[in-house]
Structure 1
Amino acid sequence: MARELSKTAYTLRSVATGKAFEDTGWSLDPQGETTPSLIRAEYQHKQLNVKDEEYGIYKFADWLPVSRMLKGSSAPVTYKSEGLAQELGLSNLYVTFNGWWPERGAYNRTCSFKETEAYSVCGRMGTDFGKTLVVASAGNTARAFAKVCSDNEIPLLLCVPEDNLDALWFDKPIASCVKLICTKKGSDYFDAINLSNLACQVDGYIAEGGAKNIARRDGMGTTMLSAATFIGQIPDYYFQAVGSGTGAIAAWEANLRLIADGRFGARKVKLMVAQNAPFTPMYDAWKADSRALLPMDDDDARRSVEEIVAKVLSNRKPPYSITGGLFDALKDAGGDILVATNEEAAAAAEMFEKLEGIDIHPAAAIALASLINAVRDGLVEPDAVVMLNITGGGEDRYKGDFPLHYLKPSAIFDYNPTLEEVRERIASL
């Protein structure tokens, strides 16, 4: 089912200690270390050789930890904005678009940049992997992994809040190798993560790893690679909405590789990341200059999540504090955490569709709203090279072009199920 691709050569390195080690196949943490830290892939190819478009996201395989090329992928597409740029008074605004927009060469059928994660993570898995991958998601990630695993016959267990089931739409029925379990109505992404942690304790199931998985981060980093290779240089500013911040960490890491490449300049892009008010745990910690997230009441957090329009930005335990996480990325590269409201996002989405010609996801609208506010507040120079990461778009267009099928849950759990309950109900799947 998958086209073979020569395995990318790389070693792993702990961000905390700098110690290098070999990948045992699914390494998620530094070997022999007690301090929580992300690990990074160091690729044999120090300069990026971009392959032809027919490779999809694997055109960037030199900097992806993959051993095979799965079918159906599409790489992010970067273009220079005209209408939006003129409206904002920016002479060098570049849009990196992830979604369905055939006229721009964007053929991402789940309409989210989470596909970049899924094709990279699943491409890291060998054909003899032998375990069922477990993925927790607020919606878009689940849709991406479900599509990739269904198309390529890879066993997958998804854990998603029941309130987010409307995000699990597809243009064809999902194969039986993909199963879905949910946390009950009123729960959030954090609850789905807890459920997935229990599922991973069942024999035969293994955690995808989230931000700890080098393949997830380096897959998302292809947005920065798309922009830099199109523009010919590293941008001055990078705008994106964040729930976990993993995409911004990935952009930072890709930025460092581009500097080492030597052909794109030595600039560290300023990471301008945004949260959807009133759910702003990373913004609150950053403004307090705190590596640790500030205390948050579970019920208050759930209520805040209910209020935000961009549900995918609702991670209560993001990789912000961990060594190599978002706090470190911002301290090293510069930038800021911003906020935007539901109302600002709605206005931004309307502006983008009017001026650029395609609908965008609420999270992408939060990113654009933060850019609009930053320009208004004089935080961005008019001639700066700005990358706007539109993390999802074209969904309305896609839903109008294709019939839809929805994935239904096989089991629904309360907030705090026991391991025995999870083991028993998963066994019945």
Structure 2
Amino acid sequence: MTTTLAIGLAVTAIIAIIVLIAYFRLNPFIVLFTVSLALALAAGMPADHVVASFEAGAGHVLGHVGTVIALGTMLGKMLAESGGADRIALTISQAAGRERVDWAMMIIGLLVGLPVFFEVGFVLLIPLAFVLAARTDTPLLRVALPMGAALSVTHAMVPPHPATLLALSAYHANTGRTIFWGVIIGTPIAIIAGPLYGRFIAPRIHITEANPLAEQFISREVPKNLPGFGITVFTILSPVMLMLIGSVADHVTAVHSAPNRLLHFVGNTDIALVLATVLSFYVLGIARGFSRETILRFTNECLGPTALIMLLVGAGGGFGRELVDSGVSKAITDAALGAHVPLLILAWLLAVIVRVACGSATVAMSTASGIAGPILAHSSGVSPELMVLVTGAGSVAFGPMNDAGFWQLKEYLGLTVPQTLKTWSVVETLIAFFGLFFCLIASIFIH
């Protein structure tokens, strides 16, 4: 396949996805599925291989990420229902003081965002943003944007988020080092896109429409019997701590010994999350007075909304597999290597393109890492961990209107579309470009 044909097919597929989702408002899963098949057929793949390729790609992705999505959602649900999110928010905001409530919300977002999807974390924390803004007489945007920025940074750059785990697998990166550099690089990005930009833009955006959601939450009473701050934070951070333990297993125990295997086992992403979720059933459930039946109802209820997320993640994996199996990815890869595009920039650009194409940061990261992973395998001098981070940064670029988060933030904060573009879309773009900038700087020292 010629490079021109491969690039033409890829560009046509991406434009088709944008138009069908953004203009014709078709279901994103149906669009990704049909465009993937059409691309493979146009590339000359045998018809009997086309569907099998999509299924293999979707199955591989969901086999790795489905469990993570389910367990992370359950953990987030227990955090919400127990009042754990309220406890974290109240404790940190009281310690920070009235003038630094935006910084407090950023820290809260970084903590709460670790185990849950952006959309879930936003729903968990937006009531606290409403309450804190009202009680400290602070503009709502100055409180909500730092929270959103922190949630977006953790979603894109810090495991155990499903997208970062897929990128970890594609790039064969070390989990512990990725978490470490994700925190080191992600924190200043969250500061720039959150409190700093929030303080700049909040006085320039005037929210005029009445917000019934805000009224509802402001009048809500915070439960008096909240779980302790220490045990709540420990529960949230426990999967991250277990994964860090697993990543250093070979440095503290003899390789292939029984203790080494045990540490690798508990440090496995699925095992770490299931242990943390079971722990939450007790410390945030039974210990708070919830019955086993109530906890079962919570865990069943929270899984319903994840169905579309799982389908989109799977479809993104299927799309990436069609690109590989049809030869389109190889032709583009060869062209990129021939053009000597730096690999970090290439991975970032691929994520940005897919982000604009389908709106989903998770799909953007999984698809881009699936394409860039084979290139990294034949390259040297590039840190796999930085590849994960730069792909994650690109995956949130522009906060486009085909992203569910765009409309979620608009509706909750009572913004107009132009106001959402000036606030949320800029926040996401700052995360993307500073993510690339800091990763390029870090690449000078990390190989």
TM exceeding 0.5: no
Which structure has more strand as a fraction of its residues?
A: 1
TM-score (norm 2): 0.27
TM-score (norm 1): 0.28
Relative CO higher for 1 or 2, CA cutoff 8 Å, sep ≥ 6?
Answer: 2
When Rg is computed on C-alpha atoms for both structures, the one with the higher figure is 2
